[in-house]
Amino acid sequence: MKQVAAVMKAWALKKENLPEHEAHKWWLAGLLHDADWEKFPGDHCRIIIEELEKRNIDPEIIHCIASHGPKHFGVAPESKMDKMIYMIDELSGFIHAAALVRPLQYEGMDVKSVMKKLKTPAFAAQVSREDIQDAQGRTGIPLEEIIDFIIQHQRDVR
Ligand SMILES: [Fe+2]
Ligand SMILES: [Fe+2]
């Protein structure tokens, strides 16, 4: 979640040129999107949404969290923030898995090797290639560009 938050915020600032207070929303959505996952895997996303609604959190943030898995939660990504959390969430975990099997982890990791692993169904098989394709289509941003950005921005997040 910390990695998704860091990449979301960096994307908002550097690629969308948003001001700090807007980028903070992207960070918060990233940080909280899976907050109920460990305790309530069967109700994932519903619980956190209810909690945030009770606390009158910004509806943009709530919608963003609700749309981070359109096939699972039935909420379609609409805003740029929505589409990017869907995209970054899927790829962030995948890239982290790719880093963990390399002796130098993120050091020297390139886009090509990640693209190759994406085409290897057995690698991190739980990451849905279909969702990645779907998210990429919605953002319209080349996969290579997003992968490169994630490698650069989540490497130091622990
Ligand atoms: Fe999730
Ligand atoms: Fe996630």
- Residue 141 and residue 154: Cα distance in Å, rounded? 19
pLDDT in tens, 79-99: 999 999 999 999 999 999 999
Cβ atoms within 10 Å of 1's Cβ, excluding its own: 15
pLDDT of residue 157: 81
Q: b/e map of 103-113 (b: 16 or more CB within 10 Å)?
A: eeebeebebee
Burial class (CB in 10 A: 0-12, 13-18, 19+), 82: buried
**Total residue length of the chain:** 158
Share of the chain above pLDDT 70, in %: 99
Beta-carbon neighbours within 5 Å of ion ligand 2: 34, 89
Q: How far apart are the CA of 45 and the centre of ligand 1, in A? A: 7
Q: How far apart are the CA of 32 and the centre of ligand 1, in A? A: 10
Beta-carbon neighbours within 5 Å of ion ligand 1: 34
Confidence band of 155 (pLDDT split at 50, 70, 90)? confident
Note the pTM of the prediction, 2 decimals. 0.95
